[in-house]
Structure 1
Amino acid sequence: MKILFLSSLYSPHVGGGAEIVLQRTVEGMHQRGHEVCVLSTGPDAGLKHEFVKGVKVYRAGLLNTYWHFSEQRPGALARLGWHLRDKYNMGMRTYLREVLAAEKVDLVVCHNLSGWSVSAWDEISASGLPLVQVLHDMYLMCPSSNMFKKNTACKTPCTLCKHFRQGHAERSAQVDAVVGVSQHLLGKLTDARFFRNASQQVIYNASPKIDHAPSRFTRMAQGEPLRFGYLGTLSEPKGLRWLIDQFKKLPFNATLQIAGRGQLDYEQVLKLEASGENIHFVGYQSPESFYRQIDVAIVPSIWNEPFGLVAVEACAHSVPVIASARGGLPEIIQDGINGLLCNPDEPRSLGLAMLQLYRDPELRERLAAQARDSVEHLLDQERMLDSYQQLFLDVLQRRNVHHEISPVTQSL
């Protein structure tokens, strides 16, 4: 089976968990003996290719006003123009057509479409190839991909989103199979009448299994601070202002480490708000290093988080999690089992959860002891790869149901 994976970004350009999981999937399928290649956008003009860990990766110069993977956030008018072109970027079809002609793949798997637009679906459909769409965010209903506006998670698309996404649901009828990385995400799209002709499946993102992660609970000495930590993108929907505000009100000794990167101007805003407090911005940190330094992880998203890979990784390191009850997070964090859930609509709920874990060390100990086992099923990359491989096979076989089985399918 020869597969083309199409996405907005690919390593070393990593915007978040979607790119991490995509690379794990691509390399996993490659290691299983399948022919794989990747097509992503890039900052340089034209179509170029290179090899990343043995995988052929094409990078297509984005035909828009700017490349969207940058540290500096463009102005509102520039972003509006970018999204207007991204509603249907006809020019990007040329790159895709060139790669399809050169690689002669059996199947195309689309991940994040930002930069490519849904014009990619039309090009794949015109080529006669089967198409799988993996959903990582709300891009198909919202140009910003997050259904988040004015510090609030949107319940329905606004007028502008409806304009920019007009016709997308109808075009999604070309997709053969759709995968959601959470039940919440898949349900949001299918409830909006997307993918009416596609088979539907939830395949949770998997993290690599950690060989040895014993419970890290330790009793605090008198006066010793409780160490909270946040790991992830520094952006408004992630709830960092909420976290900082609630942390500053805690009536006990504690520290807060904030690891990750974001737009430079937003990082400065956060640092000013945290100034003078026991809050430390520590930049990029690997999960293995970061979770050794904290007692409780916090995932305070105020948008509908599609999945929550950081919550899985924290539990995998036997660190309990305080998470907002939004999006796919409640599919990972179970209140009283591996963490506590809080509600962004009740701002004090986050501070109260932090206070509860300070006052009740037995609860904290139990959550830490149970955290690893609670996500064991999400630490099996082979299981995730099995699910994707079987799905790809099913899609190919359905296409050939009225025809003689091809040699490619027989070899599998």
Structure 2
Amino acid sequence: MKIAIICTLYPPYILGGAEKSTALLAQGLARNGHEVTVITTGKTNCKETIEGVTVYRLKNMNIYWRYPQRDKPLTKKMLWHLFDIYNIGYKKSLENLLLTLKPDIIHTNNLCGLSCIIWDIAQQQHIPIVHTLRDYYLLCPQQTMIKGIKSCQTQCLICKSYSVIKKVMSQKVNAVVGISNFILNHHLKFGYFKNAYLTCVIPNSIEPHNVSQYVTDNKKDVGYIGRLSPEKGIELMIEAFINSNNRGSNKLRIAGTGNKKYTDYLQQKYKNESIVFCGKCKSTDFFQTISLLIVPSLWNEPFGRVVIEAYSSHIPVLMASNGGLIELAENGISEIFSTDSTNPLTNLLNKYFNGSLYFNDTLFEQVLIQYTEDNVIKRYIELYNQLISKFQK
């Protein structure tokens, strides 16, 4: 099968879990014998092959490129998002590429930067479209649906204005996939994808790796890894840890980077020998230093791939009950907590430190089956075939 995968960024340009998940999907499909092409954005037009996947990078056609993310003046941001509603600058390149590639199916992912124009072009060329929801780009120009540190329950006037055309364009999509039930239902309730033949949930896959050793000593260091930003609940986590009965014998290790002003603020405010800011780390290395992961997100995470990455390293997880995270909770290897105050997380940490919170190490491999590459690829191939069959009738 000839599959064209469309996404904002593709490795080595990575901003978060979406890029990792899309790359794992593309490479997995290629390993399964399919002809996979990725169309993404870049500084310049170029073509390369990565892990059996042909990658076309199209020169940025907006006022700046999204990588790396840097603070921009408000007027520039507003203009960027205005052009990104329907970026006509990519029209000719995308039309010519698809006419040359003649894919059996187009699979769009994050579209921030390329815009929804791809759906128009695919429909004009009679190519069936699958879209995977990995963020809130279609509902919110910031892709997050966050105001302050809390998730928005409705669209504000600005988001509605920027999203009108995207909502109309979504009706051209033939099949839509949510990486969680939460993100799929969140879009459907706003009236998106009304004409989709198929809707389903397929989780992200986990990258297979061999962990050289799991934490085997009696140390109970806990940790967080990810972006350092207010909506991620970093301060709630730190306060809960400080309020716990840890007594300084175990550490809270915080890995990741973020806005320099915010990271400096965190490190100044929380000067404590028990709190260690580790900077940028590889997750598999970081998991060797902790025995419990905390995911304290205040916003509605679409999925939370760090949870399954922790599971794959046999690290149990305490996770916030927000968004798609709760769907990753598994009895015996994780616990969920409310983020309304620090108390629920503090109580769980107290139980963990005093030894009354138990996890079952034998359950990890059983849980991970649903996130294996083979399982996820199989489900996408089944979806592609169903859609092509319906499309041809």
Measured against aligned partners, the alpha-carbon deviations of 1:124-143 in whole angstroms (never above 9, x if no partner) come to 11121111101101111011
Instruction: Map residues 70-149 of structure 1 onto 2, 5 A cutoff.
Output: 70-149=68-147
Q: State how far apart, in whole Å, the 1-side matches of 2:85 and 2:301 are.
A: 23
8 A Cα contact 1:183 1:202, kept in partner? yes
8 A Cα contact 2:308 2:368, kept in partner? no
Structure 2 equivalent of residue 393 of structure 1: 385
Structure 1 equivalent of residue 228 of structure 2: 234
2:375 pairs with 1:383: yes
2:265 pairs with 1:269: yes
8 A Cα contact 1:71 1:262, kept in partner? no
Measured against aligned partners, the alpha-carbon deviations of 1:273-315 in whole angstroms (never above 9, x if no partner) come to 3334422222232232111110110001111011111111112
The counterpart of 2:239, out of the listed 233, 238, 245, is: 245
Gaps of 5+ in 2: none
2:350 pairs with 1:355: yes
**AA partner of residue 201 (structure 1):** C
Identity level (%): 31
**AA partner of residue 298 (structure 1):** I
Measured against aligned partners, the alpha-carbon deviations of 1:165-195 in whole angstroms (never above 9, x if no partner) come to 0132222111110010001111111111111
* Dislocated runs of 4+, deviation >6 Å: 212-215
Q: State how far apart, in whole Å, the 1-side matches of 2:363 and 2:387 are.
A: 36
2:313 pairs with 1:317: yes
Gaps of 5+ in 1: 221-225, 402-412
Shift of the alpha carbon at 1:216?
Answer: 4.1
Shift of the alpha carbon at 1:120?
Answer: 1.7
Shift of the alpha carbon at 1:150?
Answer: 1.4
8 A Cα contact 2:46 2:58, kept in partner? yes
The counterpart of 1:344, out of the listed 336, 339, 353, is: 339
Q: State how far apart, in whole Å, the 2-side matches of 1:247 and 1:17 are.
A: 26
Instruction: Map residues 176-215 of structure 1 onto 2, 5 A cutoff.
Output: 176-198=174-196, 199-210=198-209
Structure 1 equivalent of residue 254 of structure 2: 258
Bigger mean CA deviation after superposition, 202-211 or 128-137: 202-211
Structure 2 equivalent of residue 297 of structure 1: 293
Measured against aligned partners, the alpha-carbon deviations of 1:106-163 in whole angstroms (never above 9, x if no partner) come to 2110000101111221121112111110110111101111111111111111111111
8 A Cα contact 2:211 2:284, kept in partner? no
Shift of the alpha carbon at 1:395?
Answer: 1.2
Q: State how far apart, in whole Å, the 1-side matches of 2:55 and 2:47 are.
A: 5
**AA partner of residue 57 (structure 1):** V
Measured against aligned partners, the alpha-carbon deviations of 1:28-71 in whole angstroms (never above 9, x if no partner) come to 11111111111111123xx2211212321111122112111215
**AA partner of residue 203 (structure 1):** I
**AA partner of residue 377 (structure 1):** I
TM-score by length of 1: 0.89
Root mean square deviation of aligned Cα: 2.0
Question: Tell me, what secondary structure is at the counterpart of 1:68?
Answer: coil
Q: 1:213 to 1:311 in 2, by over 3 A?
A: farther
TM-score by length of 2: 0.93
**Pairs aligned (count):** 390
